[in-house]
Amino acid sequence: MKPLITAALFLCATAAQADLSGRVVSVADGDTITVLDGGNRQIKIRLHQIDAPEKKQDFGQASKQSLSDLVYGKEVRIEVADTDKYGRTVGKVWIGGTDANLEQVKRGIDLAQFRQTPS
């Protein structure tokens, strides 16, 4: 009986980490989006392994606009990694073959160059 329970728990954990897909219907900030899936459920997604400035911090609006330009209204696939303490799904967002998480970081590096003061 014990192996059967262990197998059932493993299958539940694996299913919880399955990929998601849908259309991006909202961009909250530079690292959080909302996706409408095939079942018309809205799922908040936090981009995995990045941290963008909050909306009221320096470059916060630029970061949000960058992510919006990248994903808003588009079909995406999410490689689910985790769920955060706020209940958001955490994952890597793909638009076709483009890693949106990585692209957002690259865009942030470009923005940061403007902040540097001349020597």
Determine which of 12-16, 43-47, 110-114 has the lowest per-residue pLDDT on average: 12-16
CATH number assigned to the domain covering 19-115:
2.40.50.90
Q: What is the distance between the alpha carbons of residues 3 and 8, in angstroms, rounded to a whole number?
A: 9
Q: pLDDT per residue over 50-106, tens digit each?
A: 999 988 999 999 999 999 999 999 999 999 999 999 999 999 999 999 999 999 999
Return the structure tokens found at 1: 């009986």
Burial 1-36 (b: 16+ CB within 10 A, else e): eeeeeeeeeeeeeeeeeeebebebeebbbbbbbbbe
What single DSSP character describes residue 41?
A: -
With residue 85 as reference, give the H or E element that holds it.
Answer: none
Q: What is the distance between the alpha carbons of residues 69 and 19, in angstroms, rounded to a whole number?
A: 23
Count of CB atoms within 10 A of residue 104's CB? 20
* pLDDT at residue 15 greater than cutoff 80: no
Q: What angle do CA 14, 19, 25 make, to 5 degrees?
A: 140
* Residue entry with tokens 């958001």: 88
Q: What's the whole-model pTM score?
A: 0.79
Give the model's confidence band at 5: pLDDT under 50 very low, under 70 low, under 90 confident, else very high. Answer: low
Burial 69-82 (b: 16+ CB within 10 A, else e): ebbeeeebbbebee
Task: Please identify every residue annotated as catalytic.
Answer: 46, 54, 88
Map out the domains of the chain as residue ranges: 19-115
* pLDDT at residue 8 greater than cutoff 70: no
